[in-house]
Amino acid sequence: MTSARSGPSTPTVPGGPLSGVRVLDLTTFLSGPFATQILSDLGAEVIKVESLGGDLSRSIPPHFVGDDSVYFLANNRGKRSIAVDLKTDDGRQVVLDLIARSDVVIENFRPGVCRRLGLDPDRIRADQPDLVWASISGFGQVGPLRDQPAYDMVVQAMSGVMSLTGEPGGPAVRLGIPAGDLIAGMYATIAVMAALLDRPRSGGRTADVSMLDGQLAMLSYQGAYSLVAGVTPGPQGRGHDSIPTYRSFAGRDGREFVVTANTERMWQGLCDALGRPDLIADERFVDGRARLTHRDQLWPILEKEFARRTAREWVRELATRAVPVSLIKTVPEALRDADEAGRDMIVDLAHPDGRQARVLGNPVRYVGESARPATYPPGLGEHTVAILRDILGRPPEEVDRLLSNRAVATDPRPPGTTPAVA
């Protein structure tokens, strides 16, 4: 899919449906790096442009492999890094030259910052009409909130998502994962891949992806309930607004598990597992609407029955009756089980200097194809010289000049040292 102007592509990992696509990654922290890591996993060549001090996520505590923040390692595998000072004319020209040789640019600066840096997407795309440009921001490139700073918890709060999280009567709770960032990253990848697919017919596009918009979209039926019925959904706690047998319970041992008996067949299987066929014929619970109406009478019955046996025993009993059920696993339990499942959702990263890390893998599978190997995230400026030489064709004396005047930098660290922040 690389156009004639793109130059020789040197993907860090061969193969994949996006092989031949070059992505210039002008992002930091999470939403953008998560998006570009997805594209890298799918075969794109991703060039991560960092400041001379590096992506600030490189130093996020508390966990490190050597001097690499695990936060950074989790979101930057398979990329190449070039360190550039965008405030210098030479550095800005390096990035413009890389854009000219790329198929996709993804950035998550605050609105207006790219233009102030001399990277105006409108002007660039006027000269490069088949370029796909994706901007990720808190509130979008237009609108009354465009200039406000945003982080994950801010958009969780503003979208109403936090108001749905927690126990009824308790305080609002942030989701345990950074959904605002991750969902924006996923929507950015969708926008990029759709634009690439349509590029032969319509040319490139500029995508405007808002973290807040992504969270609003995730309200799904809860948002529709509010719009249609005028209700204010509250904290969901252990249950579900529509299905009373879709919630968590505790076994005799105190271990929690979830039951999602959301069809009549599953409801009957649940009653059979409990040894309570009388519940099926009970007029209060005769169908889903009746069970919802009388859920405050149903729940104490179920809770009392589930307290008779351990959570694992109930999981076995319900599973044999094809009632969807699971223990509420801890993160280590979930990761162990994923590792044993053999679907490559836990991947090992190995650096030539001996550093190793385990991170979550790519959930996209193509039938008949093996999982692509994962490469260790790049050191700051690790590929600066190679990118200048091989992609931009800069001669050695020009590379030396750019390095000496600090328009670009390469990581001078011996292994085990921390990069200085410029």
Q: Which residues are catalytic?
A: 240
HEC string of 33-58 equals HHHHHHHHHCCCEEEEEECCCCCHHH
Contact present, 206 and 135 (Cβ < 8 Å): yes
Q: One-letter amino acid identity for 280?
A: I
Amino acid at position 153, single letter? M
Whether the Cβ atoms of residue 168 and residue 235 lie closer than 8 Å to each other: yes
Radius of gyration of the chain (CA): 26
- Tokens representing 395 are 């001669």
Look up residue 29 and give its two tokens: 């922290």
d(CA 250, CA 15): 47
Give the separation between CA 322 and CA 45, rounded to whole angstroms.
44
Matching residue, tokens 């490190």:
64
Closest alpha carbon to 176 in 17, 331, 349: 331
Residues 6+ apart with CB under 8 A from 263: none
How far is it, in rounded angstroms, from Cα 90 to Cα 93? 5
